[in-house]
Structure formats: C-alpha cells, structure tokens
Structure 1
Amino acid sequence: MKNVRRSVPSLGLIITLVGFPQISESIFTPVLPRLQMVFAVSANRAQLTMSSYFVAFAVGVLIWGQLADCFGRRPAMLAGIGVYLLGNVGLLVSGDFRFLLVSRLIQAFGASAGSVVTQTIMRESFSGVTGAKVFARTSAAMALAPALGPLIGGLLQTYWGFRSVFSGLITLSVIVGGYACCRLPETRQRVDQVSRISQMQVIKRLIGNPVVWVYGLLIGGINGVLFSYYAEAPFIFIRHFGFSVVQYGWSGLILAGASLLGAVLVNHLLTWWSPEQLISWGLLLSVMAAMMFVIVTYGEQPVLILISIFLTFLGLNIALPNALNRALVGYEDVMGSASGWFSLGYYLLVSGMTFGMSCLHNGVITTLPWYVMGLSVVMLVVYVKVVPRQVDVIDKDN
C-alpha cells in the first residue's frame, strides 16, 4: 500500500471548517419567536429546529467519519459541504414548518462533516501539548461561532426579514466550500485503497473504555448546556426582558468573550497544569457560577444574569478543549471511525439535553439556570469520580 507525505492544514482553515456548523446551530435562535408566528406553531415546536438539528448531526458524524476513513478526509468534507448547501436552499424555499424541519435535518447532516472530519484531521495532525493548544484555539472558534450566530441572525432578520438568514447560510456554504476546495489537503496517510476497518471492533473498544464514556458525557454535556441556553435564551431576554432581536444578538458576545478567554487561559495554564487538572477546575468554576446564575435570576437583574452566564461558560470553555483533546487518545489507527461513533454518542446527548430544555419550557425564567446548574454538577461529580482514577492506573502501569 502506498504511503504519502501528509500535509497539515492551516489553523485558519481548521477554524473555518469547525466553525460553520456551529454558526448554523445558533443562527436560528433570534428568529425562533418569528418562526413561531409565521408558521403558527407553539414555542416548543419552534424549538424543535434546535433539538432536531442534533439528531441529524449525530447520524451525520457517524457516516462522514466512516466515509473519511474509506475515501479520505478531503472527499468526505467536500461532499458534506455540498449536502449542507442543499439543506440551506431547502430552508430558503420552505413554505410550511414540516418542510422547514426536513431542510434543517438535511442542513445538519451535511454540516456534521465539518465537525467530525475536522476533528479527525486535527487529531492525526497534532498531538501532545501542541494538540491541546490547537484544540483550545479551535474550541474557542467552536464557542465563538455559535455566539456570533444570534447576532448575525438578529441583524439579518431586522434589516431584511427572517428568510435572509437562510440566504446568508447559502452564501456561507458557498464560501466555505470554495475555501476547502482550494486549500484543504488530504491528511490521511493511505489514500490509494479503501480502508477495511471492523466497525464492531471499534465500537467494542469505545464501549469498554470508561474514560471515553466520561469524556463523551463532558463534551455532550457542555454542548448540551450551550445549546439549551440558545434554545431558551430568546424567550428570556426577548420575551421577558424586552430585548430587541439585535440587542439579544449582541448579548451573544458574552459567550464569545467566555470562549476566547477560556482559550487564552488553557494555552497559558497548560505550562503548569495537566489537561485533567484544567478540566476539574473548569467544571468547578462552572458549578459555582451556575449557582450564582440561579440566585440572580430570581432577582431579575439582566446585568447580573449575563455576568453569571459569562462565568459559567468560561468554566465550561476551560474544560471543553482538554476533553476534546484527551477523548480518543489511543485510537489513532481508526481515528475517523472512532471519531464518528464517539461523536454520534455525544451529539445524541446534546440533542436529548436540548430537547429536554424544550420540554421544560414553561415561560418561567428560572427553569434554564436550574437546568444548567444540575447538568454542571453531574458532569463535575462523574468526572472526578472516574478519570483521575483511570489516569493513576495508567501511570502505575507505565
């Protein structure tokens, strides 16, 4: 079998590819109340455009991960972007809510290639402390992109109507597809033969590893908290506090600031602390801030609420890049398939958590902070109970 020298994609391209699915997830949030009115559906049904996105996304990461192993990273990525473009066109021409929902599923299925294939490229191109720092920077983009989504969606809706959001997504898909077509190298070492990988063996390896389960819970849980916030926040800030759509969009920069500061702290603190220690401290900060979130929400002070949200997501953004970097150590020989199955699991968890938030939606603004605090506590407890012990066992064996 012929081996070729692999090229490493630029950080700018990686950030673009990992960011466009995130924007697509959250750009809907400021238009949810508008979609509810235009299509004459309940708020809970309007929120299905968020939770259903992750179902199709979860299926997509599995399929694109396997296709990336079989045919290469570049073909899988370009095909995914093509499907993503098709879904965006469907959103633009949708005339009823069902067609809109189906188009949203197609969009999510295609966009998922940007997640799983890019993470596969990153894991095989960077390792060790360098890998942790690259994941920190791209994790900032993964959090920054959905934070910008509400602002972009709010501005487009305000000046050109809610369908301009879909036109904007079509433009984004064309730009990203052109960029990837011109600049994305093939990073898989063997490119001249279809890989024969036993998916059952990959599944058994993943299921039998408790650390993989815990990191899946963390990554899914952190993203579940993020997108539960995006599903519920418009009804809190726009409906309850009377924010305009654009004002709500600007509030997303709070999360952007948390993601950027988290990335800076991770890059700095990795010099002294291990990734496992950073995850523990990040989760602890998120729990404490979530408690503050609960308390200040009862006082109905928007400024204090936004501060508590910033601190909560700062802690989560310290934990997330380290969890992403450590999750599949030891699976380099089947990275595409392992990434696909692993991502399937945690995106199903994200979908379940986002759907859970839509089920709990009752117009009471304290529901979200209690939900965020509960999830943060669970993640911290499970992590400190399992992962440090597994690391100790590995150290003793070595």
Structure 2
Amino acid sequence: MPLAISSKAVPGAMPRARAELRFTVVLAALMAFASISTDIYLPALPSLSASLGASAGQVQLTLSGFLIGFSLGQLFWGPVGDRYGRRIPIMVGMALFMLGSIGCALSGSALEMIAWRLAQALGACAGPVLARAMVRDLYARERSAQMLSTLMLVMSIAPLLGPILGGQILGIWSWRGIFWTLAGFGLLALLGVASLRETLPPDRRLTERPAAIVTTYVLLLRDRRVLGYAAAGGFLYAGVYAFLAASPFTYIEYYHVSPQAYGLLFGINIVGMMLANLLNSRLVMRFGTDSMLRAGAAIAGLAGVALILASRSGWGGLPGLVVPLFFYFSMMGFIVANSVAGALAGFPQRAGAVSALVGAMHYGTGMVSTALVGWLADGTPWTMGCIVGVSGVGVLLSVLLLVRTPARG
C-alpha cells in the first residue's frame, strides 16, 4: 500500500544556505541533461546531415536514438538508485555520458552517431531520474512540486540558451565542437554530484532482488493515478519532441528562418515555460498539484486543437504556428512538476522506480513522436502540427479520465 505522509519535509534535513543553493543548482543541471543534449545541436542538424552525407530522416534518427536510450535507461537507474543510493549511480551515468559525447564528436557516419547517441543517453538519463528521487527523499507532495518547479525554472536556462549556444559554436567551430562541449558539461556535473551528500540513507534503501524490478513496475502500472500522471506527461513530451525534431526543417527550410533567428524563436517558448514554472511554484501550495495540473492540461489541449487547424489550413503562416506552440510549451511549467509530484506521492518508498517509470513514459513517447516526424514528413508544417496537436488533446484526456479520484494522504 502507498505510504501516506504529511506535506512537511520528510526525514533528512535540508542542507542550509550555501549547501542548499549548491543542491538546487546541481539537481537543476542533472534534470537539464535531456534538454541540453538535444537542444544544443538542433541548429546543426542541416550541416551535420551534409557533413555525414545523411538524409534528414537519418539525422532525425540521432534524436530518436538518444530518446530510446534515455527512456529505457531510466527503468534501470531508478531501481538501482532505490537499492544503492543516488550519488554513485549518477556519477557512473555521468562518466558514460562523457564517453558517448566524445564518441559523437568523433563519428564519421550517421550510423556511428546514432550508436554513440544511444550510449550518451544511457548515461545521461541517470541524472534526471535520480534527481527527481532525491527531491522526493527530502520533500512530500505539494512541497516537492514546488521544489521541482524551482528546479525546472533554473534548468530552463539550458533549453533557452541551448540552440543559441549551438548556433554560435556552429559559427566559430563545427557540429563536432558541440559534442566536445557536452563532454565538458558532463564532467562539471560529475564533480557537482561528488560535492553533494547522499539523500537516501542505508536504512531506507530497498533490498529486493533484481527479479523484483518487473513486479514493481507492474504494480505501479496497475495504479490508475500513477498511470494518469505518467500518461499526461508522456503526451506532453510527445508533442515537445515532435516540435524539436521537425522545427529546424519547418522554420529554417520551409519558412527560410536563419539558424540564429530559429534559436530566438525557440527561446520564446522557453521563456513561457519559465514563467509558468514561476507561477506554479507560487500557486501550487495554495491550490494543490491536481488543480494546477488540470489547468495546464486544459490550455495544452486547446493549444493543440489550434495548432492542428493552423498547420492544416496554413492560416497565419509562421505566427499561426508560433503562438499555439508558445502556449503548449509554456504548460510544461504546470504539467511536468505537478504530474511527477503526484505520481511520487503515492509510492514514496519507491521514488526511484516511480521516477523511472514516469521518465520512461515521457521520453518513450518522445521517441515515438520523433520517429513519426521522420516517417511522415511531407515537407510542410502539417506533420509537426498534427502530432503536437493530437498530443495536447491526449494530455487533457489523460487528466480528465485517469487523474480524477481524491489524492491519497
């Protein structure tokens, strides 16, 4: 049975002042690994395609390959973190991420790039899945959602600066330099984690055998609310990653936007997400996680419908896409933190496994949507608009149909 706890901090006193600031910054960096690993090289996709002699579809598979590793790898790191603690598994993951980044920088073909991106992702995913578990080690439901919103607000710097930084590196170096930069980022994260204390003491760790991992995930999937929270985030990320895969070609090639201007248009969405995270951190303690989640789902659903209509009819041209995408992206600030906190609240003793399941759902759907973008691309904005729009409607339906019983505890 899920363990009900109060909204006060759970055992394990928060580090004070300077230590708390370091904790927040390092965890925000860990949660940013997916964003920084994808967003920073988006402006380089056309030049990477030309350099490796690969088609646009093959290059988009480097993003899909990353998402495969990032989603499936979390299912491994979550239970490992529940059994052995958080710090050491994260540090091992960062070392693997560095190795994968170096391999990407040295790749000579699209196939090599896809393989190294897979290795890079298997290491990168240890960071966010166990960072979320570390928050749950220290905080309960609404307070953990507030903390996650704060972390996402800080980590929003990564997707905001990622495409801009990637465009600048591309201008003065090459796409290979982007991956050398990522290797350096991995080293900094490893050193940051080494400076933190462990949040899961030995007496709170699980001692189940590896074979019990499957049973754990079956138990979690049978819980309707956990499934609803995970599905809401999963649909949201499906739309986000469809945009990430398709927008460079839609904006740069279809609408003839420069790589630098693309970075700015991309950044508008991140600003919206930052503002929504800030608003969520201020309101979630007053209205609760589920109320904030429903508000975000409603706006994402409406934005999705608007995007379907605009991309199909061509109404509004580029602004007709940019405006609904802004509202869709912004709702990450309401949906992600609250859905993760809601799922974690039901099974605090299995925070690593719950975080892994939610994360796998997030990036697994992203893997599917990016693959669909590659397979269904027709040279117009329609494919992107349709996938993002359907995803927005999926978010709303997940919340309305599955997350509708009173919260436990």
Fold in common (TM above 0.5) = yes
Report the counterpart of residue 392 of structure 2 in structure 1: 376
Deviations along 1:307-342, whole A, 9 cap, x unmatched? 222112223432221111111223122222333344
Report the counterpart of residue 328 of structure 2 in structure 1: 312
**TM-score, normalized by length of structure 1?**
0.91
| 1:237, distance to aligned residue in structure 2 (A) | 0.9
Kindly tell me: are residues 75 and 151 of structure 1, through their superposed partners in 2, closer, same or farther at Cα, counting changes over 3 Å? same
Report the counterpart of residue 69 of structure 2 in structure 1: 56
Kindly tell me: are residues 5 and 276 of structure 1, through their superposed partners in 2, closer, same or farther at Cα, counting changes over 3 Å? closer
Number of corresponding residues: 389
- RMSD between aligned alpha carbons? 2.2
CA contact (8 A) 1:144 1:259 kept: no
Match of 1:219 among 233, 239, 245: 233
- Alignment partner of 2:331: what SS? helix
Report the counterpart of residue 165 of structure 2 in structure 1: 152
Report the counterpart of residue 169 of structure 1 in structure 2: 182
**TM-score, normalized by length of structure 2?**
0.88
- Asked if 1:238 is matched to 2:247, the reply is no
| 1:223, distance to aligned residue in structure 2 (A) | 1.6
Report the counterpart of residue 289 of structure 2 in structure 1: 275
Deviations along 1:89-129, whole A, 9 cap, x unmatched? 10111112211111111111100011111111111111132
Query: Amino acid of the residue matched to residue 278 of structure 1?
Result: M
Mapped partners of 2:205, 2:292: distance in 1:
40
Match of 1:367 among 345, 370, 383: 383
Match of 2:299 among 278, 281, 285: 285
Mapped partners of 1:387, 1:178: distance in 2:
39
Deviations along 1:8-45, whole A, 9 cap, x unmatched? 55211211111133210222211111122112222111
Match of 1:26 among 24, 36, 39: 39
Kindly tell me: are residues 6 and 133 of structure 1, through their superposed partners in 2, closer, same or farther at Cα, counting changes over 3 Å? closer
CA contact (8 A) 2:141 2:342 kept: no
CA contact (8 A) 2:75 2:353 kept: yes
CA contact (8 A) 1:116 1:343 kept: yes
Identity %: 23
Report the counterpart of residue 315 of structure 2 in structure 1: 299
Deviations along 1:217-250, whole A, 9 cap, x unmatched? 1112112211110100000111011111111112
Structure 2 spans left out of the alignment, 5+ residues: 1-10
Report the counterpart of residue 261 of structure 2 in structure 1: 247
Kindly tell me: are residues 95 and 188 of structure 1, through their superposed partners in 2, closer, same or farther at Cα, counting changes over 3 Å? same
CA contact (8 A) 1:263 1:317 kept: yes
Report the counterpart of residue 197 of structure 2 in structure 1: 185
CA contact (8 A) 1:286 1:312 kept: yes
Query: Amino acid of the residue matched to residue 88 of structure 1?
Result: S
Report the counterpart of residue 401 of structure 2 in structure 1: 385
Mapped partners of 2:235, 2:393: distance in 1:
11
| 1:140, distance to aligned residue in structure 2 (A) | 3.3
Mapped partners of 1:193, 1:303: distance in 2:
51
CA contact (8 A) 2:65 2:115 kept: no
Match of 1:99 among 90, 112, 117: 112
Match of 2:360 among 311, 319, 344: 344
